[in-house]
Amino acid sequence: MIDARHYNFAFLDEGSKREIRRSILKAVAIPGYQVPFGSRELPIGRGWGTGGIQITLSIIGREDVLKVIDQGSDESVNAVNIKKLVEECTDVAITSDSEEASIIQSRHRIPEIPMRNDQILVLQVPTPEPLRIVETKESVTKQMHAEAEYSPMWLSLFEDLTQYGEISVSSEYPVMVEGRYVMNPSPIPRYDNKKLSDSETLYLFGAGREKKIYAIPPHTDVVSMCFDDIPFQAEDFEGKHCRLCQATGVYLDELIDEKTGEKVYECSDTGFCRGRREQKTWKHQC
Amino acid sequence: MAYVAVSGGKEAIEQSLKLLEIFRESREDITVSGIKENMGLLVDKIMSEAGFYSPEYAALALKQCEGSVEEAVFLLRAYRSTLPRNYYSCPADTRDMRLIRRISAAFKDIPGGQILGPTYDYSHRLLDFSLMEEETGEKAEEGEGVGSESGEDIRCGRVTDILREEHVLEEVEEDNTEPFDVTSNLLTFPAPRSARLQTFARSDAGFLGGVAYSSMRGYGAVHPTVSELRCGYIEIDVPYILDEEESLCIGEILVTEVEALVPSHTETDEEFDKMSLSGGYGLIFGRNENKAIAMSIADASLETKGDTPSQDEEFVLTHGDCLEMSGFISHLKLPHYVTFQSKLDRVRAKEEGK
Amino acid sequence: METPVLRIDHLTVRYGKTCDYCRNGGELHKNTCPRCKTVWACNDMNVKLYEGEILGIVGESGSGKSTLMKSLFFDFDVTEGSGFLRDFGGGEADIFAQSLQQKKYIKNHLMGMVYQNPMLGLRMDYSSAGNIAEKLIAAGQRSFSGMNERVEELLDAVEILQSRKKEPPKNFSGGMQQRVQISKALANNPAILLLDEVTTGLDLSVQAKVLELIREIRQRFHISIMLVSHDLAVIRMLADRTIVMLDGKIIEQGLTDQILDDPQQPYTQQLVHSLL
């Protein structure tokens, strides 16, 4: 339990929060560009979402309502752990209803219900550098971004198609932002990539261990990298549905039914699934 | 149902924390001051890797986490994030160090003398069963009047000062530019030396030792001579707000400093290059000798050219932080089923493609 | 007078800080200043390359011929001098003074380079197709099938079987690696091909085949070629004109037959006679 007498509102000292907010502003001004920042250590492990948490702690105010999901689930251990930290050091309201939330922090998913322009989605990023798969050195990737030299990235896609007939990138599928910066959308499934483009909401990406912040402001053009004659492919759930709410056309988790031993599916977005079962109507239907 | 371990997280975490508290709780008498007084070298290691000087809080951290080094470092670092940064200290001159130990491997005798001080170097590593039942505080009384712990104030200049007068050291200009602050900036490469040294000083001792060892053993070129290793207390001053000329002493910290020497060549206008000695530098919180030597080797190694890991700046500077490495490794314990589903989708697509 | 496709004026590449002595034309020891140890790798070179010709550059190792080629391909920075391409900036823009983007454009569209060491020109772990496609991608192509067609065309041109296009160059023999490099260099139909000791280290029979291929390519693509070699037999077989280099300087140039049959400079005479 964090004792408020020993710690500032939202844990970090005000100077640190202001510094992080300045980095966020810069990121919003240059969509897709990775802004370096002086990442602070948190009571949660580096690599466990500290970039996202630092953004959340820096932007959160007493009136905010926070939702945290991990793998689409409000109940996941990591999501619970993060909510607990923020709640203890801010006392803000916590929700699992994505409509009520003003800030949603997420790991690996973008919620199914489209987000509004008065909400912010904060994504946790382990490896912000999309070019890391083709180049190990930070000094080189920095130069590649500066020169918009993305041929090696395209080449790796070409190689995949040549060798396997398929592009093998599963999640963290690279996107081109406003025709300028190649960006790693964090390890969201390819299914979620389309939600990044021309969205109503602001997306903020935080990588604590790698000390980078980047952003996609509302109505930004975001394109998944693919060749003209090879359509970009999202995960395929054709013919499958959620066994709880019967939803189709959403991202599904695959499970094995313990009794029958059969493969069954459930919505990855647990808040969305619960809402459907409770017959909730959303203002913005998907 | 499958994946129960993942849902219902709130309750599970609470139960886990309760269990942890039972594991942690003192069964024998152990106090923060007991840890601070008796486990001094462990406390020093925690402070150096945390980049946070407070023997008391380091001892508290150790008590709180069953003595785990990485957890204790973690606690101090996280606590550090909550503190406003009020001052930057003035540069401290280690010539003014109040010495408890000082040796040179380069010379038999040095002005000011070799001071062996407390060291395990010449002890036999035999388990001493008499310690199973030791009374506290017996030896401290006997030790009165030995070395500077007796209160004797020993201070002296460095061995390199003498070598510099002889012009056998590589001549370098004093660099008084504002140092890079690795705790509030992202490193860019090539990194300034101040950034390198700060990063090494906070590095995981095991990692840094491995880097230095590899360089000495053949994956690199640095096998230095320890010009001087000194351990003692230095005063920390901060600028006095009301008068720029003045400074205020806010206390003493215990540090270990190493200057290592390696031969180097300098290009000249003359027919032959000049041969001289250049240095590697190490400065670590507490009594932390091997880490300080390792740091001086790692520092010198980055000045040499080659393809070995110890010469690769980006490699050694980005993989040695205790918190970053343990955090990223441990995050693999988090659920990854959404991305794994995505991977399965690709593997299955390839299977169907065949 | 015909406009050359490439003209180099007063090109100098040096390493070191220089001193008054060598800057003012003091005598060098080979290519190195005896006082300050500055290396004058290329020293005030003037070169013209005309359309459709093969220009041979010959000299011992350390004479500066590879430095010349690599500077032209922007692998090294030139210290002084300028270069002009007929097809770039109306033939009046100094290529060495261009921005990184422009230099990339020149490398991708106007020139192709084949290195002596295939490791410099190829990604050894990528497929041969990928290696060639890299150039097409760099030139902005984004159609997978379009690039594949072009890759197949180029593999045919250098006589590599289509069945091997998925294989990485590291599985190939030295001769085949050079063929992949050549096809990569030709990918975007450049006007100029730079060949740096491309047959050095290959077996004689393989050498002959690669040389034959270069001759065919010149005919077929009507491309201008600069060919660096220390081997006079290679120069005699391919080059229309030849430049002789020594210690970073051009000491003699002219039609190849003329240089080889009637050398004027003592060094060239020595070179020719040692071969005979």
List chain B pLDDT tens, one digit each, 354 residues. Answer: 333 334 567 788 888 888 888 887 777 788 999 999 999 999 999 999 999 999 999 999 999 999 999 999 999 999 999 998 888 899 999 999 999 999 998 887 888 888 888 888 888 888 888 888 877 766 666 655 444 455 678 888 888 888 888 878 887 888 888 999 999 899 989 999 999 999 999 999 999 999 999 998 888 878 888 999 999 999 999 998 888 889 999 999 999 999 999 877 665 555 555 677 888 999 999 999 999 999 999 999 998 888 899 999 999 999 999 999 999 999 898 888 888 888 888 888 877 765
Q: What is the ipTM of this complex?
A: 0.87
**What is the arithmetic mean of pLDDT over C181-206?**
92
Element at A86 (helix H, strand E): helix A77-90
Q: Is residue A151 part of a domain?
A: no
Would the CB atoms of A47 and B189 count as touching at under 8 Å? Answer: no
pLDDT level of residue A281 (50, 70, 90 thresholds): confident
Q: Kindly report the nearest CA distance between residue C273 and chain A, in angstroms.
A: 48
For C49-80, give the DSSP string.
E-TT-EEEEE--TTSSHHHHHHHHTTSS--SE
- Helical packing angle, B69-80 and B322-330, nearest 10°: 110
Burial label, A73 (beta-carbon count in 10 A; 0-12, 13-18, 19+): buried
Question: What are the residue boundaries of the structural domains of chain B, listed by start?
Answer: 9-80, 94-119+153-171+182-322
φ/ψ (deg, to 5) at C218: -60, -45
- The pLDDT assigned to B176 comes to 87
Our count of domains for chain C comes to 1
The alpha-carbon gap from A123 to the nearest alpha carbon of chain C, in Å, equals: 30
Active-site annotation holds for A15? no
What pLDDT sits at residue B318?
A: 94
Does residue A182 share a domain with residue A259?
no
Residues of the domain holding A261 = 236-278
- Kindly state the DSSP code that residue C109 receives in the 8-state scheme: I
Measured on CA atoms in the order B223, B224, B225, B229, is the torsion positive or negative? negative
CATH number of domain containing C219: 3.40.50.300
Reading the block at residue B22, the tokens are 């039972």
For residue A2, what pLDDT is reported?
63
Alpha-carbon gap: A72 to the closest alpha carbon of chain B (Å): 8
pLDDT digits (tens, 9 = 90+) for A205-250: 999 999 999 999 999 999 999 999 999 999 989 999 999 999 999 9
Q: Tell me how far apart the alpha carbons of residues C172 and B111 are, in angstroms, rounded to a whole number.
A: 66
Q: What is the pLDDT of residue C275?
A: 63
Q: Which residues of A touch B351 (CB under 8 A)?
A: none
Q: What is the pLDDT of residues C131-176, one digit of tens each?
A: 999 999 999 999 999 999 999 999 999 999 999 999 999 999 999 9
* Burial class of residue B147 in the structure, from the number of CB atoms within 10 Å of its CB (0-12 exposed, 13-18 middle, 19+ buried): middle
Residue C172 lies in a domain: yes
Q: What is the pLDDT of residue B153?
A: 83
Cβ neighbours of B343 in A, within 8 Å: 170-171
Q: What residues does C251 pair with on adjacent strands?
A: none
Cβ neighbours of residue C138 under 8 Å, at least 6 residues apart? A151, C104, C108
Instruction: Tell how far CA C45 is from the center of its chain.
Output: 15
Is the minimum CB–CB distance between B272 and chain C shorter than 8 Å? Answer: no
Say what the pLDDT of residue B273 is. Answer: 58
Question: Given an 8 Å threshold on Cβ–Cβ distance, is A139 in contact with B78?
Answer: no
With CA atoms as reference, report the closest residue to B260 among B300, B210, B305.
Answer: B300
Look at the block and give the residue holding tokens 């000292």.
A13
Tell me: do A197 and A273 sit in the same domain.
no
- Closest chain C residue to the Cα of A143, Cα to Cα: C100
Segments of C89-215 assigned E as strands: 111-114, 192-196
> Using 50, 70 and 90 to split pLDDT, how confident is the model at A157?
very high
Of A72, A208, A271, A273, the catalytic one is: A273
pLDDT of residue C88: 95
| CB-based contact B62:B76 (threshold 8 Å) | no
Q: Which residues contact B57 (CB under 8 A, 6 or more apart)?
A: B76, B79
- Touching A (3+ Cβ pairs <8 A), the chains are B, C
pTM to 2 decimal places = 0.83
The pLDDT of residue B146: 47
Q: Are residues A176 and A111 in the same domain?
A: yes
CA dist B284 and B253 (Å) reads 11
Is there a domain that residue C1 lies in?
Answer: no
Q: What is the pLDDT of residue B269?
A: 55
Mean pLDDT of C27-53: 92
- A-C interface: how many C-beta pairs under 8 angstroms? 44
Chain A, 221 to 240: residues with Cβ < 8 Å from chain B are: 233, 235-236
* Both structure tokens of C262: 């009637």
Best probe of the A interface among B341, B347, B350, by most A CBs < 10 A, is B341
Whether the ω angle into residue B190 lies within 30 degrees of 0, i.e. cis, is yes
Mean pLDDT of A253-270: 89
pLDDT digits (tens, 9 = 90+) for A36-86: 999 999 998 888 899 999 999 999 999 999 999 998 999 888 899 899 999
The residue assigned the tokens 């020595």 is C270
Query: pLDDT of A164-189, one tens digit each?
Result: 888 988 889 999 999 999 999 999 99
Give the whole-angstrom CA distance, residue B315 versus residue A170.
27
Tokens of residue C157, six digits: 């041109």
Picking from B71, B331, B352 by the largest number of A CB atoms within 10 A of its own CB, the best residue to mutate is B331
Per-residue DSSP letter, C164: G
Q: Are residues A263 and A216 in the same domain?
A: no
Residues 6+ apart with CB under 8 A from B167: none
Is pLDDT of A22 > 90? yes
- The number of domains in chain A is 2
Closest residue by Cα to residue C210 from C170, C176, C169: C176
- Mutation target among A39, A46, A124 for the B interface, most CBs of B within 10 A: A46
- Contact at CB, C101 and A227, closer than 8 angstroms: no
Q: β-strands B274-285, B243-266: how paired?
A: antiparallel
Looking at residue B2, its pLDDT comes to 31
Quick one: pLDDT band at residue C64, thresholds 50, 70, 90? very high
Q: Which domain holds residue C189?
A: 6-275
